[in-house]
Amino acid sequence: MQPHRAWAEINLDALSHNLQVIRQQAGAGTRVLLVVKANAYGHGAALVAHHALKSGIGALGVGTSEEALELRAMGIKLPILVLGTVIETELAACLREHIHIGLHTLDRCVQLNQLAGRLGVRAQVHLNVDTGMGRLGVPSLRTNALLDALDESPNIDMVGLMTHVVDPAGWSPRTSEQMDDLKRVHRELKRRGPWRGWVHGFNSATLFSAPCMVGNTVRIGIAALGVAAAGGAEQRDLQPVLSFHSQVVMLKDIPPGTSVGYGPDFIARRQTRVATIPVGYADGVPFSLAGRGEGLLRGQRAQFIGRISMDYVTLDVTEIEGVQVGDQVTLIGTQGTQHISLGQMARGARTIPYEISCSIGPRVVRLPREGGDLRLPAQASDAHKQSFPSVTLPEDLPHTRAISLAP
């Protein structure tokens, strides 16, 4: 029996490998900014960020000011860029913690200059140019006014120039047009005087599909985690970092005509052995996988049956010999010769890999695997021992065997 009801293993060796592949693809002299927003796409921001620091990554990107401040509180000293907007009430904290801020509007430029002056610090900003995404950023044809304002802001250092690629497949004619707009703003910036800041627009998909590098920095998220970017070419050299597991907590033999789960959406047509695992849509198993998803058990595939509940999934293990309570069930990852990738689960749920990994909830403990060994953090191990003291149970307790409902 495993000590956790559900857990995700984070393979740090795979992360190191992927970062090396990314450096080689980007080329010498290109800065890699690792995006760890949304809890590092569900992989665990602190775990990924600290390992990336040891791997020589130059900077981190996040989606919100809260995420940036949390990383600082964890002791991360690398440059951290908030790619999105910063909540106004957290601007002062970001400036004090030397967080890089994405600059999208003239009003925010004025606000930052005034606030930085009052705090006695210098704001570090990356001018976000809207070259086609249509969400954040200053339209590319209106950047001169914002550059004028930056020239007149003594308390702001413009350390970066950025844009956001629209095409999820990466490089395309539209992406080429976006990069042309970014380069035009870069030329205007250099025309005003010497400037050697970060220039970045490439993401995971663009890095692996573009004919040549644009800028001196790449923003990498999902590729570092070993997942091919949505719509992009398969990145064959990357290794998956995450695997997702639970365990059998109940076995039950049911006769034909017996229903399983809410609805009922499943009624047994034969004598069926049902395995229940304590993980559900609250933990990141998509509700839409009901009746279509699979888990790996004893190296074989077991079909989901019945609806996905908030806390439980049920599987048909009738054809799998020797299943016992406590057996590990792999929802994403490898058992024996069988493998379920993050992308495969996403396709089954009719969504994208990003949504699956980001949905793996806080009840799922993240465990680092390094050098082939799975490490349980000391504090988690101690808490487990305190909460669940070691006891010996009789081997013939009812919950350790399959319960039969057959007449």
Contact between 150 and 109 under an 8 Å Cβ cutoff? The reply is: yes
Q: How far apart are CA 211 and CA 207, in angstroms?
A: 9
3-state class of 158 per DSSP? Answer: strand
Burial 23-32 (b: 16+ CB within 10 A, else e): bebbeeebbb
Q: How far apart are CA 243 and CA 220, in angstroms?
A: 20
Q: How far apart are CA 263 and CA 266, in angstroms?
A: 8
In DSSP terms, 312 is beta-bridged to none
3-state class of 378 per DSSP? Answer: helix
Token readout for 203 is 């993401």
Determine the length of the chain: 407
Q: Which of 365, 356, 227, 230 is nearest to 287 (CA)?
A: 356
User: CA of 80: how far to CAs of 38, 58, 224, in Å?
Assistant: 14, 9, 17
The one-letter amino acid code at 396 reads D
Contact between 35 and 219 under an 8 Å Cβ cutoff? The reply is: yes
- Helix residue ranges per DSSP H, 167-304: 173-191, 204-207
Pick the catalytic residue: 37, 41, 281, 354?
37
Strands 328-335 vs 294-297: parallel, antiparallel or unpaired: antiparallel
List Cβ neighbours of 359 (8 Å cut-off, separation of 6 or more). 42, 284, 286
Pick the catalytic residue: 183, 252, 262, 385?
262
Say if residue 154 is exposed, middle or buried (CB neighbours under 10 Å; 0-12, 13-18, 19+): exposed
Q: CA quadruple 111, 113, 117, 120: dihedral positive or negative?
A: positive
Q: How far apart are CA 105 and CA 95, in angstroms?
A: 17
CA contacts within 13 A on the Cβ side of 361: 13
Token readout for 79 is 């440059």
3-state class of 153 per DSSP? Answer: coil
Catalytic (active site) residue 262: yes
Tell me which residues are annotated as active site. Answer: 37, 262
